[in-house]
Amino acid sequence: MCYITKEKLEDLKQKLEYLKTAKRQEIVQRIKEAKEMGDISENAELDVANEERGMNEVEISKMEDLIRHAKIVSNENAQKDWVGIGSTVSFLLGKNEVTYQVVGSEDADLEQKKISNESPLGGALTGRKVGEAFEANLPAGKMTIKILSIK
């Protein structure tokens, strides 16, 4: 199961539609043009186009599976008394106060302050309550964390 926001689900559906229509058509056209070049036994363009077709079909399959098994999360249904997917949590990381939203791996974006529940930090925060202080093993080393608020 993959936890994603409604917006991310819509983005995935749009990308899937592109891969299944326009991208497939582009690849078919490239294969057709490559075949028209003559000898297909040593046709690098044809090999590349066929490889791209295979990669596109794999991507389509992965996206269909992701969409099929997606669980929609939002801030509105996030837990307020403990950190879970969809929660926005403020905490002390060492001596620095930081705020992140815990999201599924598909929505993770550090620039937008969204961390995956599967990341070391997201995993350490999940299930914690306001006021709780604990040590977590993070890539930067063992750090002390104290939960300040959960929204």
- pLDDT tens track of the chain, all 151 residues? 788 888 889 999 999 999 999 999 999 999 998 888 876 677 888 889 999 999 999 999 999 999 999 988 866 555 578 999 889 999 999 899 999 999 999 899 999 999 999 999 999 999 999 999 999 999 999 999 999 999 8
The fold adopted by the segment(s) 2-72 is Helix Hairpins (1.10.287)
Only one residue has tokens 């997917």, namely 85
Query: Would you say 116 and 110 are in contact if contact means Cβ atoms under 8 Å apart?
Result: no
Residues of the chain with CATH 3.10.50.30: 88-150
Top-tier CATH class for 88-150:
alpha beta
Residues of the chain with CATH 1.10.287.180: 2-72
Using alpha carbons, select from 32, 23, 14 the residue that is nearest to residue 54: 23
